[in-house]
Each structure stands twice: as C-alpha cells, then as structure tokens.
Structure 1
Amino acid sequence: MTAGTRLCTGAEILAVTDDLWTRSIIGPSWSGPGWLMPGAACYGTGTADEPDGCLTAVGDPHAVAELVRLLLAGRAEPPYLLTVPRGTQVEGTETAATQWEVLSLHHAPPPLPAEGRVVPVAREPSAEITALLTAASPEHSVRPGAPDVELWAGIRDTNGALICGGAMVRKPGAALRSLASIATAPAYRGQGLAAAVTAWLARQALEREPSGCLLALDSANHGAKRVYERLGFRTVREFSTLEFDVW
C-alpha cells in the first residue's frame, strides 16, 4: 500500500462521497481496487482482468492530485486511463485530456409527442443497433452486448428500420442507472427523436429508481446538452479523462 493512502472497499468509498457518478458504478459486485485519503477517493474502473487499468478519482481537486501522485509513484506503470475532477493537476500524461460531464435528472421529463413512437429494441440480434451507432455515433460509449445494459429502446421509420436509439445501463447492484449511446441516423436529425428516446428511457430509469438517473456527455457537444437540459437534466460533475502512454 502506498504511504499516505489506504486500500478500501466500495462501501467505504460510498460512505465518504456523495458523487453520483460513483454511485452509478460501485455496487455489491464491484471488486476494487479502491484507495482513500482525506478529501479524495480513487477506484478501479477497468476490465475484470485488469481492474486498475483504468482509474477514477473523486473529491477535492487538490486532495485528488496528491492521491493520484502517490498512487502513480507506487506503480510499475501508469493506468491506461485516469479520470479526475476537472482542474486537477496530473503529471505524466501523453495526450490532451478529454473533457466530459455528468448530468442528472431527478424528476420525470415533460412529455414529448414523439415518445409514443419509442419501443424497446431486442438486445439480440444486435446488428441493427450496431449499424445505427456506427453510422450516427462512432464514439458511442456502450456497445450492443454490453452486460450492464438493462434496456435498449428506439424509434423506427415506416419501413421498420431503426433510426434512433439509446441504452439504459446499470452496473450490478449500483444505486443509479445511466443513459448512454443515444444516437439518431443523420437523415432523421432535427426532428426531436433523440429527445424522445432520452425522455422515454429516463422515465424507465426513474420508475426503477426514483432518486434519479444520469448520463455522461462530451463537454464539446453543446447541441446535445441543450436537448438534455430541456428535459430537466443538469450538470452535477465535470471530469477530465487523461491517457497515459503505456505501450
């Protein structure tokens, strides 16, 4: 264990932070690793084979910077990705940080006319979801077949083709659900379809957990942010994700 930090459980992390994004990730099945020091927490968000290959740190930016410094100093090599509160100073990264934010919704959105067209989309076969995301949102965060997806939903055209879609995600046992990979086929943009799918999925999430639902958004995507804000979403956290050269 690195001096000045201590290993901890997911329950201990949840006990010291009110960070909503963390509450959408850490549940009973989360297996670590995690570290605490006064004012900051850090936890693994990598794969099952390499859980500390990606790390997320939350808390006061100055405390997070110190915690990250100590953790990196104690590792043979850095993680692939490190997510920290925006404004945290971290040394050793090789690329510009990706800036993104977490939006939360705590009340049902206003009804939208196109919501009546939204239908659940079968997870398998996933070819139509894959085709939509490849064409409309190549950088999508959640892919068909992802085990944490509880529900895919979308809108079809008159021929039955999927023209807009999105996912509702829940990490096993985590308190909050998030929405992800919301995309509209380019030819159908500007008709309010993504707003309708988002509103429909948000209602599903709030029915399951009334305390709220989340979504993550690239901070450069101002158009999508305006759509989400009209539905009642508000930014609650701003993060930077840093990439290290580990090859």
Structure 2
Amino acid sequence: MQVTTFSPRTASLFTQDLELQPGSALLRFGAARPRPAGRFDWSGDGAVAWLDEPRGHVWSVGEPAAAAGLMLRAAHQLPGKIRGFTGPRGVDALLGRHLAVTDPVAWAFRWTLDEPPLHPGEEQVRELGEADHSELRAFLGKHSPAHSTGPGSSDVSRWAAIRGPSGRLVACGALSTLRDSGAPLLASVATDAALRGQGLGAALTSWLTRHAVRRQGLCTLWQLADNTPADRLYTRLGYRDEDPCVAARISTC
C-alpha cells in the first residue's frame, strides 16, 4: 500500500506545535508544509490563521480569542479581500464585535486515518469518468442542489457512484482535496431522494473513505453540527469528532 506523507513542518504556522493538540486537525491536515509561495498566514498567542486567497476565506485554529485577533489582523492587512472565515467555535461572536459577521454555521471537521469496516453494498460502487459528468450534474441538481462541488472541478480526483437495476444513478460522491494541503476531502455525497435510508450513501462513503486511506493515509470531511444521521454514520465509519468549527461571511460594505 502506497501512502502519501506530508512534508516536515516549517515556520510559521507550525512553530507553536498547535497541530499536535486536540481540536487542531484542520491545521494538521489542511495547511500545507512547507509554506506555499505567496500564502498569507498569521501566527501567535495560541492560534494560527491562513488565507485561501482565491476564495477570500481565512482558516484559523487555536484559542478563540487569539484566533479572532489574527483574523482581525488579516482583515486590516488585506482590506476588502477577506469575505469569510472558518475558525474555532465562538470566534464568530468575538470577531463580530469589530466586523460585520453574517450567516454563521456550526460545523465539525472530521477525519480518519483508518479504513472503515466493510459496509454492505460497497461491491456496487463503480468509478465514473468524464463521460458521466452530464449525468452527474443532472443527478446532483435534482437530489442535492446545495452540493459542495460538481463534475469538472479541478479539486476532484475521483467520482464514484452506485447504479440501480435499470442502470440509472442512485447515489454518487467525490474525493476532492483541501485546497492548501491537497489532503483528501469527501464531498458531494448524494442519494436518490426516493431511496434514502437504504444504506446507499453509507456504502459509497465507506468505499470512498477506504480508497483515500489506502492511497493517501487519511480522509477528511465536513459535517453540519446538527446533522444527527450523518454524525452516527461518520462515527460508525471511524471518523474522529474533535474539531468543532464555525464558518461565517464577512461583509465588506
């Protein structure tokens, strides 16, 4: 089994050893090391932050007050360029004292280093190619309109699906990447609305997780904090739940 390893740490995000602490997996797996050329990042006082410049999105890990301070510094240093953030729970309220913070959503960043137990139905999963993209777009548009990524995205390394007896798609999902580090990220898992509750999404999630762990040594995903069925599934598949986050927008008006 070939496993991709991440490069040794360098300054500046990795000088406080935050990546070794509980609740900091987003730093450990999500921030590239060594530092990519041109990346804006900030560090100090028990927190770190780094910028996904194309999206104008700041990621942060650490103690909430310190994280809020770093994100405020980023907003002042790069006026008009910071449009959103993800950070430790509570940072939205702290940052909201100084900036126009809107639409906060609680998330959990979850991860696993282990292959899940074999799930019934995994034998039905097949990889999809570019010829299937139109079908995928139509399926996601109907059964998961708010999907996080779509066919043709440069971040996606693999699409997989389950087809029903008639050959039509009944479930699909992708392995995308965390933009800064390239670590595998489970994305856009969707099931036919009429067939939910039959384990199709679970089988697909298990298959994609196994694929990522075998090739890159880990798999990550984002879960809405109040999604109880997803929480049970991901826990059953071995995903750790130690990294509560909040994401929100920043109005630049």
Question: Which residue does 1:13 correspond to in 2?
Answer: 13
Give the distance between the partners of 2:120 and 2:37, measured in 1 at CA.
39
Structure 1 stretches lacking a partner, 5+ long: 1-8
2:31 partner amino acid: I
1:219 partner amino acid: A
Matched, 1:85 2:92: no
Say whether the 8 Å CA contact 1:136–1:185 is kept in structure 2.
Answer: yes
Question: Which residue does 1:6 correspond to in 2?
Answer: none
Once the two structures are overlaid, the 10-residue window that deviates more, 105-114 or 24-33, is: 24-33
Deviation digits for residues 168-218 of structure 1 (CA, Å, limit 9, x no counterpart): 1235783631211111010111110010001000110110123x2111111
Question: Which residue does 2:207 correspond to in 1?
Answer: 200
Once the two structures are overlaid, the 10-residue window that deviates more, 193-202 or 228-237, is: 228-237
1:22 partner amino acid: L
Question: Which residue does 1:103 correspond to in 2?
Answer: 110
Matched, 1:166 2:206: no
Question: Which residue does 2:76 correspond to in 1?
Answer: 73
Alignment RMSD (CA, Å): 2.3
Q: 1:109 to 1:183 in 2, by over 3 A?
A: same
Give the deviation of 1:151 after TM superposition. 0.8
Question: Which residue does 1:228 correspond to in 2?
Answer: 234
Give the distance between the partners of 1:175 and 1:15, measured in 2 at CA.
21
SS at structure 2 position matched to 1:138: coil
2:136 partner amino acid: I
Give the distance between the partners of 2:13 and 2:140, measured in 1 at CA.
34
Q: Please, what TM-score do these two structures have when normalized by structure 1? A: 0.85
Give the deviation of 1:90 after TM superposition. 1.0
Give the deviation of 1:21 after TM superposition. 2.3
Give the distance between the partners of 2:184 and 2:251, measured in 1 at CA.
32
Give the deviation of 1:11 after TM superposition. 5.5
Question: Which residue does 2:43 correspond to in 1?
Answer: 36
Matched, 1:116 2:123: yes
Give the deviation of 1:164 after TM superposition. 0.5
Structure 2 stretches lacking a partner, 5+ long: 1-8
Q: Structure 1 vs Structure 2: percent identity of aligned residues? A: 31
Q: 1:199 to 1:146 in 2, by over 3 A?
A: same
2:188 partner amino acid: S
Give the distance between the partners of 1:23 and 1:147, measured in 2 at CA.
23
Give the distance between the partners of 2:249 and 2:47, measured in 1 at CA.
20
1:87 partner amino acid: G
Give the deviation of 1:73 after TM superposition. 3.3
Once the two structures are overlaid, the 10-residue window that deviates more, 170-179 or 91-100, is: 170-179
Matched, 1:245 2:251: yes
Give the deviation of 1:124 after TM superposition. 4.2
Deviation digits for residues 132-156 of structure 1 (CA, Å, limit 9, x no counterpart): 2212222211221111211111100
Q: 1:26 to 1:123 in 2, by over 3 A?
A: farther
Question: Which residue does 1:148 correspond to in 2?
Answer: 155
Matches within 5 A, 1:41-56: 41-47=48-54, 53-56=56-59
Q: How many residues align?
A: 234
2:186 partner amino acid: L
SS at structure 2 position matched to 1:235: coil
